[in-house]
Every structure is written in C-alpha cells, then in structure tokens.
Amino acid sequence: MSKIKVMSENMANMIAAGEVIEKCASVVKELVENAIDADAKIIKVNLEDGGIKKIQVIDNGIGMDKEDAVLSFSRHATSKIYKADDLFFIETLGFRGEALASIASVSEVELETCNGIEGTYVHIKGGEILETRSGEERVGTTITITNLFFNTPARLKYLKSEATELNNCLQFIERLALSKPNIAFQLTNNDKLLLKTSGTNNLLKTIHEIYGLNTSSNMLEIKAFSDDFEISGYVAKPSVLKKNRLHMHTFVNGRIVRNNELNKAINDAYNTYKHEGFYPVVVINIFVDSTLVDVNIHPTKQDIKMSKIDKLTDLIYRTIKDTLYKNLLIPDAITPEEKESNFTFKEESKENYKPYNHSFSEPSVAIKDIPVEIEQQQLNIGYEELEEQVNEEFKQLKLYPVGQVHKTYIIAQDEGNMYILDQHAAHERINYEMITQKFKEAEVFVTDMLIPLIFELNAADYKIFMERKDILTELGFKIEDYGINTIAIKGHPTWLKSGFEEESIRTIVDLVIASDKQFEKAKFLDSMAKMVSCKMSVKANEDLSFIEMEQLLNDLVKCDNPYNCCHGRPSIMKYSAYDLEKMFRRVL
Ligand code: ZN
Ligand code: ZN
C-alpha cells in the first residue's frame, strides 16, 4: 500500500473532524451513540475538566472482535459496525461511519473492547495505530479520548471554558437519558457524580432522576394521536418553570430533535398560565411514519423537516392546553413540607454551571398535587374525546366576601374554605375572558365618542397602521383618515370600560404599530386583550365596597381559568378548614 494514500486519508479525517467535532460534547455524542448502537444498557461517561482533558465512555454493549475494533477507526467503517435501525437519520449514520476515524485523527484514543470471545486493546494517536494487542475480557467497550485537538492547535482554541464544555456534555446526556429511559446513564466530571439514571424504562422516574422531586411530582402525563402522529410524555404544571427553552425536550421516533415550530406550539399552549420569558419542562415523544420526515440538514444539527408539521403542532398544542385546563386547581396556600430529593448532587452542579442555575424561584405556594394514580389513567384517550370536567365544579361555588386587606387582597369564604384573592389579578382574569369572548362574537356594539381621538403618526407608523387597521375595524373601532399621517378614532366597541377608553385606545394604537414584522392576527389580539384587561381592572390600593367584592367573586368563579391572571400570576388561593385547624394546632 502506498504511503501517500494513508496520508491523504488521515488528512481527510482531520478536515472532517474540524467540521463536525466542534466541542467535547460532539465527541461524547459520537461515543455514546456508538454504545447505544452496540445495545448497551448501562453507559458511563467519565470526563476530566469537562472533557477537555479526558473523555471516557464505558458501556456493557456487545463489544467488537479484533478485526472490527481496528476497522472502526478507518474512514469508511460502514454497516458492519454501525447499524441503521431505521431509515430516519440514515444520513447522520452515514456520517457516523467516519466519525470515530475523525476523532482518532485529532486526539489520542485507547479502545478496550470484548465481544465475549476475545478481548482487544487498540492505541491510536493522531490517526496512527501505535499498538494492537489482546485485552481484558469484560464484555463491552471502554473508549478513552485524551489530548483532543493536540495536532490542530487552531481547533483547540475553539474549545470553550471547562464549565461550558461540561455543561454541553451534561445537557446532551440529560436529553439522551430522557429519550432513552430504558438505558442507565451516568456522568462524572473529575470523579464527581453529576447525573445518574436507573434505566428502568419509566419516563417519569427518569424525569425525577434528572430534575428532582419538585419537578417530577408536578408533571402531567399526555397521550394523544391523530392520523399521522402519536404523542406521549409529560408536561409540567405551570408552577414549575425555567428561564430558558432548554428543558422543552422533543424526540421524534426516539431521536433528539430541536425544532422551533414544535417549541412554539408547546409554549403557546401555556399562554396565560405563565409569565412570558419563562418556559415549561416538557418531555414529548413523537412517533411518525418515517416517510413524513426529511433529514436534509447538517448532521450536527438536531433539527428536522417534516411534512404535515402544522397537523403535528396543532395536536401538541391542543393536547397540552387541554391537559393543563383539566388539571387546574386552586393553589393551596399551605406549602407541603419539602421532601429532599435523593439526587442532591444535582444541586451542586446547578451552583457550579450557570445555565442550570435558571430555575424559576418556586412560588411559595405549591399547586395541590393530584394523586399520581389519577394522573396516570386520566388522559389515555385521543384528544378529540377530551371533555371539560374539572372546572364545572368550581363554577358552582358561591364565595362570600369577608373583607379587604391592605386595599389589595380580598378575603372570602364558603362552607369549607377560606380564600385569599389578589383583586387586580382576579379582575384582570375576568376582563381578559370577557374581551376574548367579545372577539369571537359576530355582533359588534359600538359607542360613538363625543370627542374623537386624533393620532399624528410618522410616515412609517402611519403606513403600518393603515395596513393593519381592518383588524380594529372588525372589532368595532371607527377609524378615519384625517389628513397627512393622521388618524382619528371616532368610536369604539362598548366593552371598553368607560373612563379608560382613551388610555386603552392609545395602548391599542401603539400595539398595532409596535407588533413585529411577522404580524400574526391571533397573537396581536391576545396581546391586546391582555393589555386592555390590565388597564381596565381594579388596581392594588383601591377601596372596594362589599357589593363590588361580591360581584368580583361571582364573576371570577364563572371564568374558564379563574386561578391565574392572564400573565400567569395566581389570582386566588385556598385555605381549607383543615389547613386552618392545623395552623392553630386544633388538630395534629
Ligand atoms: Zn395587570
Ligand atoms: Zn396580570
């Protein structure tokens, strides 16, 4: 064999490595996916300095014989070693035939593998085999990568800090563990255990092992299907929120996928249940006929393209929304004693590695838990069959005002319970539901204004406003062109509360102009309903009469979601008679 051929092959490997191995997590991903392909049920990842110094993956998979062990480092190691279990992501797997060769070309690799018959040890540095000999006879594979990018210093510079590299690895293994609850994963860094899952094939247990008790005990199961899609998994109650999108996990046919459209559907389903800028913890498995999936995207990206994606996003949106709606309960004012999670190491890692330090500080109020058995059996039906149930009970309640505290909170009672309401949040919810209802009604009632409101806009804003003004006209706003870049509003729908018309209309005009370029009517109407209902509602520090309080209580119980304002803040909390007895130790 000519030496030239060997050299050019190694050069190709190094170039490929530069393209696809961007960070330590890319190496971890390759090695762990190899372990999964080898049917491993236990996979341990040991890092040193976040993987910069050392990456080791130990699995209990089927292992390799000597021939395959050496072949796995050559550039076109194909299906002999890498098996494609489905056609989905076949191109990624095609790339993966070259991945180990690429990694070996820019690092030092020690491979110890055994298929139950013979043990093999291979030592490679910079793509050059230094040693091959018989090795230990433990069935499975141990692969250790050190000195990453030692011969390509330009690439070495691209590695981030130890904390960032580690965090990427941790995030990847977390996602992978959630996508494969049947495999036990373990991750250590500098001998410190950061993640451990038990591989019992129970997704809720895996969620518990990764996120801890507070999250896992607040997850709701979802299950639904349509002609082309089947979805299942867990979504968090709105009491468990994070400050970034990283905890919305979607898997398509078992593969990790990050897709903006799916994330948007999930996030939209939580509208009015949470503050903007906070995101839920969600783990959703999506099953789809692989003919609908197209993976013409760079192998290191985890995105996909799918036909009928709007059908899928609709299914996800409706299923989550229904699930949240059916599980709404008045928050219990008494926080149950925090039970310690078994996985305290997770807390440490949160401290050390910043992106994980973002969990929304838990409200001092815990949403009352639904017994787990009920949750499990509840949603085992297609979404078309879902029906309203829980809230009907609440709508029958009759609450009586007791009084107002600090001109901000209302105390109320019924036979069994005491309630505390935030008067603004409660009123805002009532107005929000009233306005969104008005949006749907065909008949529009208009109040003419005695003095029209005149807006002088700049040319750009004027143009935008005129393009979008039909939305307002449909709602019952009378708008007239009033000369150069000027508009006059001469009438408004009757539901705008008197005394607040001018302020509301100014807000609405601003909102029409300010909405971003991809103007979506539904989104605009929702923002408008939120802003106007906030403006129209009683504020904190406002006196309320008994009659006003009574009206507010009556209106609130009739709401579809009486428990939050439209921005996700709680509006009502409950102390049961038992809670009170416990507080005053009438019972033990
Ligand atoms: Zn408000
Ligand atoms: Zn609000």
SS3 assignment for 418-472: EEEEEHHHHHHHHHHHHHHHHHHCCCCCEEEEEEEEEEECCHHHHHHHHHHHHHH
What is the pLDDT at residue 282?
Answer: 97
Let me know whether 42 and 180 are in one domain: yes
Let me know whether 446 and 560 are in one domain: yes
Q: Which of 64-73, 170-179, 530-539 has the lowest mean pLDDT?
A: 64-73
Domain-embedded: residue 80: yes
| Longest CA span, the chain | 96
Let me know whether 364 and 478 are in one domain: no
353 or 39, higher pLDDT = 39
CA 274 to centroid of ligand 2, rounded, Å = 10
Quick one: tokens of 323?
A: 């699930």
Quick one: tokens of 196?
A: 């451990």
Q: How confident is the model at residue 303 (pLDDT cuts 50, 70, 90)?
A: confident
Let me know whether 233 and 186 are in one domain: no
Q: How confident is the model at residue 493 (pLDDT cuts 50, 70, 90)?
A: very high
Is the pLDDT at 518 greater than 70? The verdict is yes
Is the pLDDT at 60 greater than 70? The verdict is yes
The arithmetic mean of pLDDT across residues 514-535, rounded, is 86
CA 425 to centroid of ligand 1, rounded, Å = 6
Domain-embedded: residue 577: no
Q: How many domains does the chain have?
A: 3
Let me know whether 83 and 212 are in one domain: no
Is the pLDDT at 506 greater than 80? The verdict is yes
**Among all ligands shown, which has an atom nearest to the Cα of 532?**
1
CA 540 to centroid of ligand 1, rounded, Å = 10
Q: Which of 73-87, 114-128, 317-331 has the lowest mean pLDDT?
A: 73-87
Q: Which of 325-329, 396-400, 518-522 has the lowest mean pLDDT?
A: 325-329
CA 428 to centroid of ligand 1, rounded, Å = 6
The arithmetic mean of pLDDT across residues 438-445, rounded, is 91
What is the rounded CA–CA span in Å between residue 375 and residue 378? 5
Q: Which of 265-279, 387-401, 442-456 has the lowest mean pLDDT?
A: 387-401
Is the pLDDT at 367 greater than 70? The verdict is no
34 or 430, higher pLDDT = 430
For residues 318 and 383, the answer to whether their CB atoms sit within 8 Å is yes
**Among all ligands shown, which has an atom nearest to the Cα of 540?**
1
Is the pLDDT at 281 greater than 70? The verdict is yes
Let me know whether 367 and 494 are in one domain: no
Is the pLDDT at 351 greater than 50? The verdict is no
Let me know whether 29 and 92 are in one domain: yes
Domain-embedded: residue 390: no
Is the pLDDT at 41 greater than 70? The verdict is yes
**Among all ligands shown, which has an atom nearest to the Cα of 537?**
1
Let me know whether 370 and 484 are in one domain: no
What is the rounded CA–CA span in Å between residue 560 and residue 450? 36
Q: If you ran DSSP here, which 8-state letter would residue 245 be given?
A: G
Which residues have a Cβ under 8 Å from the Cβ of 586 and sit 6 or more positions away?
none
Q: How confident is the model at residue 239 (pLDDT cuts 50, 70, 90)?
A: confident
What is the pLDDT at residue 375?
Answer: 33
pTM of the model: 0.71
> Which residues lie near ion ligand 1 (Cβ < 5 Å)?
428, 534
Which CATH number belongs to the domain containing residue 511 in this structure? 3.30.1370.100
Q: Helix, strand or coil for residue 263?
A: helix
CA 337 to centroid of ligand 1, rounded, Å = 31
What is the rounded CA–CA span in Å between residue 59 and residue 45? 9
Domain-embedded: residue 116: yes
CA 500 to centroid of ligand 1, rounded, Å = 14
Q: How confident is the model at residue 435 (pLDDT cuts 50, 70, 90)?
A: very high
CA 524 to centroid of ligand 1, rounded, Å = 17
What is the pLDDT at residue 448?
Answer: 93
Last residue of a domain, one of 345, 379, 413: 379
The arithmetic mean of pLDDT across residues 399-424, rounded, is 95
Is the pLDDT at 487 greater than 60? The verdict is yes
Q: What is the mean pLDDT of the chain?
A: 82
Domain-embedded: residue 386: no
Residue whose C-alpha is closest to residue 170's, from 17, 350, 358, 303: 350
321: left (phi over 0), alpha (psi -120 to 50) or beta: alpha
Last residue of a domain, one of 349, 379, 409: 379
Which CATH number belongs to the domain containing residue 15 in this structure? 3.30.565.10
Q: Range of 542's domain?
A: 400-572
What is the pLDDT at residue 385?
Answer: 36
Residue for token digits 């050059």? 128
CA 425 to centroid of ligand 2, rounded, Å = 6
72 or 455, higher pLDDT = 455
CA 276 to centroid of ligand 2, rounded, Å = 11
Is the pLDDT at 264 greater than 80? The verdict is yes
Last residue of a domain, one of 334, 349, 379: 379
Residue for token digits 């990790």? 256
CA 401 to centroid of ligand 2, rounded, Å = 22
For residues 171 and 24, the answer to whether their CB atoms sit within 8 Å is no
What is the pLDDT at residue 522?
Answer: 87
CA 324 to centroid of ligand 2, rounded, Å = 19
Is the pLDDT at 30 greater than 60? The verdict is yes
Let me know whether 118 and 221 are in one domain: no
Is the pLDDT at 326 greater than 90? The verdict is no
SS3 assignment for 31-97: HHHHHHHCCCCEEEEEEEHHHCCEEEEEECCCCCCHHHHHHCCCCCCCCCCCCCCCCCCHHHHHHHH
Let me know whether 406 and 469 are in one domain: yes
Domain-embedded: residue 305: yes
The arithmetic mean of pLDDT across residues 359-364, rounded, is 33
CA 46 to centroid of ligand 2, rounded, Å = 46
Displacement of CA 356 from its chain's centroid (Å): 14
The arithmetic mean of pLDDT across residues 268-289, rounded, is 90
What is the pLDDT at residue 559?
Answer: 92
CA 522 to centroid of ligand 1, rounded, Å = 20
What is the rounded CA–CA span in Å between residue 190 and residue 49? 6
Q: What is the separation, in whole angstroms, between the first and last Cα of the chain?
A: 85
Which CATH number belongs to the domain containing residue 364 in this structure? 3.30.230.10
CA 564 to centroid of ligand 2, rounded, Å = 8
Let me know whether 171 and 226 are in one domain: no
Domain-embedded: residue 395: no
Domain-embedded: residue 98: yes
| pLDDT tens figures, 144-159 | 999 998 888 888 888 8
Let me know whether 339 and 208 are in one domain: yes
What is the pLDDT at residue 166?
Answer: 95
| pLDDT tens figures, 157-205 | 888 899 999 999 999 999 999 999 999 999 999 999 999 999 999 999 9
